[in-house]
Structures are given as C-alpha cells and as structure tokens.
C-alpha cells in the first residue's frame, strides 16, 4: 500500500485550494441560508458538488504546467502520485462536507432558522439530518468520474470509446434514477448499491491505469 507523504500531499492540497473554497463556501452557505427544508433532490447542493469535483479534476490535472512536471519528476511512481491526488481530493471533500454536516447535525442550522422565525424549524430538523449523506454519496461518485473524464480527455488515443460511453451511461442512469432508487426495498436496493460501488471502483481503477501512461509536457 501507498504511504501517504506529507510534503506531496501539502502541495497538492494547495493546488486544489480554489476547488475546496468553492465547495466549502457553497455548501456552508447553503446549509446556513437555505430557508426551506433541505431535500435530496434540491439542485443547488448537487451543482455545488459537481462544480467542486470538476475543479478538483482540473486543478489536480494540469499536466502541462511546470509545477506538475516538477512533482512528476521527483521519483514517485505514477500509482503513488495518483493515490496522492485521490488523497488530496478526499481531504478537499472532507473540508467542505464535515463542517456542512456539523452545521446540520449540531442543530446550528435549525437554531438559526428558528431564530429567523422559520415555520419549519426545529420541527423538520430530523428530516434533514441524512441529506449531507447524499452529498457524500454524490462526491464519492463524482470525484473519480471527473478525474477519469479529465485524464481521458488528455489522452484521446487511449482506451476504447465504448467503455467510456458505458461509464457515462451508467453514471447518468444512477444520477437521474436516484429518486426512483431511493424507494426501492430489499434486494433491488442492494443491487443498486452494488452497482454504485462497482462504478466507483471501475472509475478509480480506470483512472489509475490511464494515469500511468499520461504524458507530462510543459
């Protein structure tokens, strides 16, 4: 297994800072300010998460800049670099998500809106408690997807188009069908969960594989 290297992680974390800020400020603002009851199908958090993930992929995938040439020429293996990119992304996601979740879970949101004379709070507060979990589920799917897509874009000659279409297809189905999936019970729910996990793992492994042969040119 890869040993996490602090120096490398720190540089990548800082490269990803704009993405972290977008995701953090977006989600925290949403948590604090959204006046209605938060629901899984609200588009705003979804958009913020998507934007955060896209930015992560772009900022951690600028393979034509001198600083990336530097990082990639230190002697780390490609897989180690990929692992650290995923680690930096995970830290970025946690930095955005954990405070947002705390805002909800500690009752800060509820209390704030109660003070603002909102009719929904504190009554509806328990209903919202699991919504950040949905965001986590979105992140876990979109971070690998955006990284994969971004790396794939940089290497149009590699891999087959068919595989990409399949991934995009399943992804779209998962996201769009989420509402439907939520209401499933029993083995169907488990099957969807399995499919979700399989897609995430494929995206991670596929991304890692493409990353191995990525060209670093500046």
Partner 1 sequence: MSDHAVRTVQLRRDFGAVRALDGLSLDVSKGTILTLLGPNGAGKTTLLRILMGLIEPTGGQVFVLGSPARSQPAGGAGRVAYVGDRCEPPDWATPALLEGVQAGASRTFDRTLFREFCKRRGLSLKRPYGALSKGQRRWVLTSLALACRPELVLLDEPADGLDPAARKALYDALRDHVNECEATAIVTTHVIADIERIADDVAIMMAGRAVLHGPLDDLRENIRQVEMSGGISSPELGDMATLLGSTRQGDMAIAWVKCNGVSDGQLVRRLGPGATVRTVGLETLYLAIAEHQPAALAESGKGLE
Chain residues binding partner 1 by CB under 8 A are 5-8, 10-11, 14-15, 66-67, 69-78, 212-218
Q: Which is nearer to partner 1, 63 or 135 (CB)?
A: 63
Exposure of 89 by Cβ count < 10 A (0-12 exposed, 13-18 middle, 19+ buried)?
buried
Separation of CA 64 from chain center: 23
The alpha helices in the chain, defined as continuous H runs, are: 6-15, 17-33, 43-59, 66-72, 78-105, 108-115, 125-128, 131-154, 161-176, 178-182, 186-212
Q: Which is nearer to partner 1, 118 or 209 (CB)?
A: 209
Q: Provide the token pair at 215.
A: 């060209």
Q: How far is the CB of 21 from partner 1 (least distance, A)?
A: 16
Q: Which is nearer to partner 1, 8 or 22 (CB)?
A: 8
Q: How far is the CB of 96 from partner 1 (least distance, A)?
A: 22
The CA distances from residue 61 to 6, 200, 214, in Å, are: 19, 19, 10
Q: How far is the CB of 57 from partner 1 (least distance, A)?
A: 19
Specify whether the CB–CB gap between 197 and 165 falls below 8 A: no
Q: How far is the CB of 139 from partner 1 (least distance, A)?
A: 26
Q: How far is the CB of 4 from partner 1 (least distance, A)?
A: 9
Q: Which is nearer to partner 1, 74 or 153 (CB)?
A: 74
Q: Which is nearer to partner 1, 10 or 41 (CB)?
A: 10
């Amino acid at each position: 297994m890869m040993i996490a290297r602090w120096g490398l992680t720190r540089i990548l974390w800082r490269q990803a800072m704009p993405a972290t800020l977008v995701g953090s400020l977006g989600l925290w603002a949403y948590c604090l300010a959204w006046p209605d009851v938060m629901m899984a199908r609200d588009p705003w958090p979804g958009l913020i998460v998507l934007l955060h993930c896209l930015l992560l992929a772009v900022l951690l995938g600028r393979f034509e800049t001198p600083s990336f040439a530097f990082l990639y020429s230190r002697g780390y293996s490609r897989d180690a670099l990929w692992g650290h990119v995923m680690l930096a992304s995970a830290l970025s996601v946690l930095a955005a998500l954990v405070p947002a979740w705390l805002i909800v879970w500690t009752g800060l949101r509820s209390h704030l809106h109660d003070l603002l004379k909102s009719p929904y709070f504190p009554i509806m507060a328990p209903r919202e408690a699991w919504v950040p979990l949905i965001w986590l589920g979105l992140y876990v799917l979109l971070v690998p997807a955006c990284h994969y897509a971004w790396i794939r874009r940089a290497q149009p000659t590699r891999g087959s188009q068919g595989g990409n279409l399949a991934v995009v297809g399943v992804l779209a189905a998962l996201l769009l069908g989420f509402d439907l999936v939520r209401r499933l019970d029993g083995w169907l729910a488990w099957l969807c969960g399995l499919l979700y996990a399989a897609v995430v793992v494929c995206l991670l492994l596929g991304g890692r594989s493409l990353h191995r042969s990525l060209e670093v040119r500046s």
